[in-house]
Amino acid sequence: MAESPVKWACLMLTSYLFFNIVLSADTQLGKKTTYIVQMDKSAMPRSFTNHLEWYSSKVRSVLIQPEQQGDAGEEDRIIYSYQTAVHGVAARLSEEEAERLEEEDGVVAIFPETKYHLHTTRSPAFLGLEPEDINSVWSQKLSDHDVIVGVVDTGIWPESGSFNDTGMTPVPAHWKGQCETGRGFEKHHCNRKIVGARVFYHGYETAAGKINEQTEYKSPRDQDGHGSHTAATVAGSLVRGANLEGYAFGMARGMAPGARIAVYKVCWTGGCFSSDILSAVDRAVADGVNILSISLGGGVSSYYRDSLSIATFGAMEMGVLVSSSAGNGGPEPASLTNVSPWITTVGASTMDRDFPATVKMGNGRTLNGVSLYKGRRMLSINKQYPVVYMGGNSSSPDPGSLCLDGTLDRRLVAGKIVICDRGISPRVQKGQVVKDAGGVGMVLANTAANGEELVADCHLLPAVAVGETDGKALKHYVITSPNPTANLAFLGTRLGIRPSPVVAAFSSRGPNSLTLEILKPDVVAPGVNILAAWTGDAGPSGLPTDQRRVKFNLLSGTSMSCPHVSGVAALLKARHPEWSPAAIKSALMTTAYVHDNTHGPLKDASAASPSNPYDHGAGHINPIKALEPGLVYDIEAQDYFEFLCAQKLTPAQLKVFSNRSCAHSLASPGDLNYPAISAVFPEKASITTLTFHRTATNVGPPVSNYHAILSPFKGASLQVEPKTLHFTRKYQKLSYKITFSTVSRQTEPEFGSLVWKDGMHRVRSPIVITWLPPI
């Protein structure tokens, strides 16, 4: 009988656990998340007076149970309505409700919410946009063709001198945007430079909870700094004496200082969500932007499952050029994001400016590195300090060698310079960990993932970053010496660095994992150690513990290269307002260069070897040449749709982009009139010949004669027909075909180019030939 109470207790506990599991499962089944619901706008029944009314009725019809008192009603289930670049709503639904809605007539597709991430001045001079003499083509008044660039990011710090509107003409009459207000951002913060500012947070709050308005600005004000930096890079006004604690001192200005900025804040402390980004793109197109600059990305999905791809297709249809960062997943192959052919995908490269620093080892050897340290804590120049490395002989980093939080023993590192391997945690945060443990300095050592690429940081203690080779040498010295010592020295700013540009190791690489026939990235642009405006709400390191405040900051990432291209695209749009987004992209690609300032081929920082089109795309942008490219490869919206038809998408999948019909005018995806040419021989060895077609539009002198020059290939012979193009008028279109015939199947891709020359212009298309392994 004594066991009965125990059995009863076990029964009660089992029942309680079962009840809670069922309750939890029931709660999970009813959990609501954000879904993007794309609708067929043309399918609205006549009984509805507007599309939102129809969309709402569709959502209401699938609700599993009426909302409880105090919960949101069906109208509140809809957090956004999309009316311009895409059509539909973002709605809070349970999984079952979403499945029901997907079966409804008029519903084209449903996508779950996706989280995106940010891809985190000398550059105008490096790109040939200076000096600003009054005869320069770049300093012509742009008031006749005002260009507005929409920056989709973390907001803006309006007090920065980069956003001063002195001397600017009134806001263009076609502009329909608004200046939304909130904590720290009032109407007067918009001006003739910042012509609009909006915030998008409903998707974020549905996924991450309400924004704490005491600690975060629920307004266009930028707390992070990233958005201010990218906006200033695109179109910042001229600011003399810009610098970061004395580094990079000079004149800061954006690529298109006469252009306007429209701010679309979509990123918050916990990330950026697709429903918010989609709403920003939709609103920006309706507001009247000419260029969209989007320095963020998520994973790679099929075109018809990628909400940003779909939205930017709609933007392209409305004549808006979209420039996006390629991502910071390099040097891994096929690490690109934002690969749709209607998006200009931008990789990152270095400039001819650096911030040298040295590590003088106790054995007399000096290692060269970089740093932006300028703090009060300086090491004595006449003293050698003990050095410690918490890793071992293994090539694999461990928590101690990575200087992660809580991994350093104060007894072992106090008063010493600590070697920290790069990786896992932010670079500057490693210095904070060293500082907290009593270290007096840090050497940040690259691993194989970063190679010899050096990125300077505004550290919180004396610190120098060194490449993988020097890092190994220093670690070997420390491990094998009984009393290893070193000192650190900071040498300021140096110009004229050779070679440059170099493709950044972090810059994401091709090939394009969705469509090998579309070469990505499109181009590279400056993205390493870029000086631009910064928020007044965060230190230059971005760490919460950093109490320093600066007006400008140096950042690296494809987030920084993207706005360079967005700004140059704005200049081209101002100069050639009739050009389509594809024509502008073509001008940027066909005039890009593939040699550095030593006249050698562009190099890859991760390997110190020549880069190829999977790394640099068509090459490094050359704005002056892009102004007058001679020829462009234009692409209309229907052509892009035909590309999707050639991808063998189903009618339902095609409908997410448009109600257009397939004319099947492209024999293959490679027949899209793209400025780059990628020939992919299939697995069948019997297929030995491929032919692609291109159409060039003359935007140069009316009477122009071009002849073709092909680089040689080992594995294939190439033939262009015709070999000459004779234009007799401006905007005339002439077509040619290029045939690839296999001579010897290669195991690796081959790279080369096709160049059309007329004595004045050099119109270059990169070529990639790939032979897929036989089945």
The answer to whether residue 87 is catalytic is no
Task: Evaluate the omega torsion of the peptide bond into residue 722 and state whether it is cis, within 30 degrees of 0.
Answer: yes
Q: In whole angstroms, give the CA distance from residue 414 to residue 434.
A: 9
The answer to whether residue 559 is catalytic is yes
Task: Evaluate the omega torsion of the peptide bond into residue 331 and state whether it is cis, within 30 degrees of 0.
Answer: yes
The answer to whether residue 153 is catalytic is yes
Helix (H) or strand (E) holding 494: strand 494-495
Single out the catalytic residue among 56, 237, 508, 559.
559
Joined tokens for residue 290 = 């000419």
Backbone angles phi, psi at 512, to 5 degrees: -70, 115
Residues 6+ apart with CB under 8 A from 71: none
- 3-state secondary structure at position 306: coil
Question: What b/e string do you get for 105-124 counting C-beta neighbours within 10 Å, with b at 16 or more?
Answer: eebbbbbebbebbbbbbbbb
DSSP-assigned states of every residue in 307-342: HHHHHHHHHHHTT-EEEEE--S-TTSTT------TT
Q: In whole angstroms, give the CA distance from residue 553 to residue 162.
A: 12
Joined tokens for residue 455 = 């990125």
Query: Nearest Cα to 108, choosing from 92, 86, 129?
Result: 86
C-beta atoms surrounding 182 within 10 Å: 15
C-alpha distances (whole Å) from 546 to each of 11, 267, 403, 419, 430 are: 56, 21, 18, 21, 13
Single out the catalytic residue among 226, 459, 576, 761.
226
Alpha helices in 40-163 (DSSP H): 51-61, 74-77, 95-102, 123-126
- 3-state secondary structure at position 455: coil
Single out the catalytic residue among 87, 123, 146, 153.
153
Q: In whole angstroms, give the CA distance from residue 676 to residue 692.
A: 11
Q: In whole angstroms, give the CA distance from residue 624 to residue 604.
A: 24
- The answer to whether residues 44 and 54 touch, using CB atoms and an 8 Å cutoff, is yes
Backbone angles phi, psi at 491, to 5 degrees: -110, 10
Task: Kindly list the catalytic residues.
Answer: 153, 226, 559
